[in-house]
Structure 1
Amino acid sequence: MDDPRLDKWLWSVRVFKTRPEATAACRAGKVFIGELEAKPGRDIHVGETVTVRVGVVTRTLKVVGLPKSRVGAKLVPDFMQDLTPPAEYERAKQATLEHMLARDRGQGRPTKKNRREMGRLFGFD
């Protein structure tokens, strides 16, 4: 079987929702194979380590298999092994939380009502 292109592999193992997104990420320098920046048309081989920056998370993936087309979510572990440290996912959760709590510029300090709502959200009351 011919080795697939990198962008096609990233799409088929559900790292990106669409193949053009995977191609754009490769061109933007967000995808590395080993220590080298990878182009979307590069062939990928079993055993290689791929590092992908998706949003605020830097995922580290090991190529275990080469699917012929996009696979279902339950079959993804047959084709890749996720080596991303748990701290990276915690950092993403923290960034999401900070985004939720961010106030628009010029709103000033939270009101008493806002503080009570935040307290209820985090279980301080």
Structure 2
Amino acid sequence: MRIDKYLWSTRYYKTRNIASTACKKGQVKVNDQVVKPSREVYPMDKIMLRKNQINYQLTVLDVPKNRVGAKLVDIYRKDTTPKEAFEHNNLLKQSKEYYRKKGTGRPTKKDRRDIEDYLDDPEDGINPTSNDI
């Protein structure tokens, strides 16, 4: 079976086109060699692929005839990805959430005024945004 079809049938990629594009970009290696999408996969091959900033490592146990359900994927591959790869990804997600909550969008006028009020020096007694002049 072709490597792009294998990665699609074991649900690493949503479509075969995406899987073949990843192979063409050099994100997929079989036995430590960058491969083309047409490379054949055999049992006991070691596959390493980079997806979403994670280096997945897996071993081919068997070759499916076509796309399999999510519950049956473990019959055809053994995932040997180290846990540190996933922990690093979680750390990146948490660092991005520090600045602003996801889905809140751009700051509103009220948010901007609150920020300006917070940053204004209280000793001056003059607010540059007020119209008291």
TM superposition score normalised by structure 1: 0.77
Verify: 1:13 aligned to 2:10, yes or no: yes
Deviations 1:39-62, CA, capped at 9 Å, x for gaps: 100000000000000011000010
Structure exhibiting the larger radius of gyration computed from Cα positions: 2
Where in structure 1 are there 5+ consecutive unaligned residues?
104-110, 112-125
Q: CA deviation at 1:96?
A: 1.7
TM superposition score normalised by structure 2: 0.72
Q: CA deviation at 1:102?
A: 4.5
Where in structure 2 are there 5+ consecutive unaligned residues?
101-114, 116-133
Q: CA deviation at 1:101?
A: 2.6
Q: What is aligned with 1:75?
A: 72
- Secondary structure of 2:58 counterpart: strand
Q: CA deviation at 1:15?
A: 0.7
Identity of aligned residues (%): 35
- Secondary structure of 1:87 counterpart: helix
Q: What is aligned with 2:32?
A: 35
Q: What is aligned with 1:57?
A: 54
**Quick one: which amino acid aligns to residue 33 of structure 2?**
L
Runs of 4+ in 1 over 6 A off after TM superposition: none
Q: CA deviation at 1:24?
A: 0.5
Q: What is aligned with 2:109?
A: none
Q: What is aligned with 1:108?
A: none
> Which of residues 78, 94, 100 is equivalent to 1:97?
94
Q: What value does the CA root-mean-square deviation take over the aligned residues?
A: 1.5
Aligned residues: 102
- Secondary structure of 2:57 counterpart: strand
Higher relative contact order (CA 8 A, sep 6+): 1
After superposition, the Cα gap between the structure-2 partners of 1:36 and 1:72, relative to the gap in structure 1 and judged at 3 Å, is same
